[in-house]
Amino acid sequence: MEIEHYSFIKVWILAIISLCYCYYISSKLPEGIFKLFSLTPIFIFFLYLPLTISTFHLVGISAFFLSWLANFKLLLFCFDQPPLSPPPSNLFHFISLASLPIKPKQKTPSQNKSKPPQRSILFAIKVLLLALLYHCYSYKQNLHKNVVLAMYCVHTYIELELTLALAAIPARAMFGFEIEPQFNEPYLTTSLQDFWGRRWNLMVTSILRPTVYYPIRLISTRLLGSRWASLPAIISVFVVSGLMHELIYYYLTRVAPTWEVTWFFILHGVAVAAEVVVKKVVPEKVRLNPVVSGALALGFVAVTAVWLFFPQLLRNGLDEKTIGEYCKLMDLLKGLLGMCLRSMRSFLFLGLTFWTGSVPAGHVFRWPVEHPTLFVSSLGVCELSPRARFSSKVHKLALLSTLE
């Protein structure tokens, strides 16, 4: 695990160096073929970097942030399109925009100030729910298969949203700008179009619109007219999304693609296109109630996910791998928390001893103030020599005898 952490750090150091090249060299070139040619090695390099790590969470983060989002943002950068054009005056601002799943929020004259507390409460609830899901996985052998799959669906949503939200914190702290939300409560959706276009993983939506949807719709308008031009564009967006998910699945599993997840997105692209046709043809008065259509949309997403989205992950044991990594992370956090509490108790005890000049009543004197080497050893900073240990024990016994 320690080697994986070093590999993860190395990947991101190399990514930052690559983005410095983009900022200082490629940004000086004219838009179009010259800038695209200068960035082609970076595209290939970002596709290679996730292959150097194997931990599920770390490779997933690197693949999504670098191989997908960063590459697509740099592709737009080649043609002087946002979010990287015009280049920010600050290098770290450029690196954050390129490598993190963030989109600065446009300032509006009036904003609802009650939303941040509400969002914080929802965030805390989702953290607790994710912890509860991991706890329930200990008993999944006693649960029905469909219940476990439903838990995986909820888990995928919560962990992805929390990961993207945590990744945006450094940029918000460093630059102070507000970030567009990456998710918009997808469980409140009213249709498939609403789910994929306005609620689920909005960072992907915002990057696929300028790279795929708008160019295809422009071409389709000339061929089909403006009324139906969006249909090929919608299906093209889902095809590209499916291929990128297939690439991420390869990074995670390191096995040959089965194309199931690609067909999952193609199916949803066709369904969204059909929904758009229905909305254009059927009057609004005779459409389904939004609550009913939203429930049907969520049911369709869940059923097709169990059919096409999860099988490739489950066949390769990535669910067990994810749970195992979580358990290791919890053990690490518990160890760090315990060490911090012990250190705080030690420093508090030492401070009280210095302040009062005596050992507080009811406390066991674990180290004499007059012998700092024993204090250092008790914190685990260094190991005392046999002579120092003997001297400390004698000194401690002498002090304890004076307290009796």
pLDDT per residue as tens digits for the range 349-401: 666 666 665 555 555 544 444 444 444 444 444 444 454 444 444 444 444 44
Cα separation values, 297 from 146, 239, 268, 300, Å: 19, 19, 10, 5
* Residues in CB range of 390: below 8 A, 6 or more apart: none
Residue 402 has pLDDT above 60, yes or no: no
Least confident piece of the model among 68-72, 194-198, 314-318: 314-318
Bridge partners (DSSP) of residue 104 are: 179
Would you say residue 21 has pLDDT above 90? yes
pLDDT at 200: 94
pLDDT given at position 15: 97
* Per-residue pLDDT reduced to its tens digit, 236-271: 999 999 999 999 999 999 999 999 999 999 999 999
The answer to whether the CB of 313 falls within 8 A of the CB of 159 is no
pLDDT at 403 over 50: no
179 pairs with which residues across the strands? 104
Arithmetic mean of pLDDT, 186-210: 94
d(CA 102, CA 70): 11
pLDDT for 54-103, tens place per residue? 888 899 999 999 999 999 999 999 999 989 998 888 899 999 999 999 88
The predicted structure's pLDDT at residue 206: 93
Q: What is the mean pLDDT of residues 170-192?
A: 85
Mean pLDDT of the chain: 83
Q: What percent of the chain has pLDDT over 90?
A: 50
H helices of 212-257, in order, are: 214-224, 230-253
Q: Say if residue 137's pLDDT is above 90.
A: no
Tell me if 307 sits within 8 A of 268, measured CB to CB: no
Rounded Cα–Cα distance for residues 329 and 163 (Å): 15
Flag the least confident range among 205-209, 248-252, 300-304, 362-366. Answer: 362-366
**Regarding predicted confidence, which is higher, 138 or 215?**
215
Q: What is the pLDDT of residue 134?
A: 84
Considering only CA atoms, give the Rg of the chain.
28
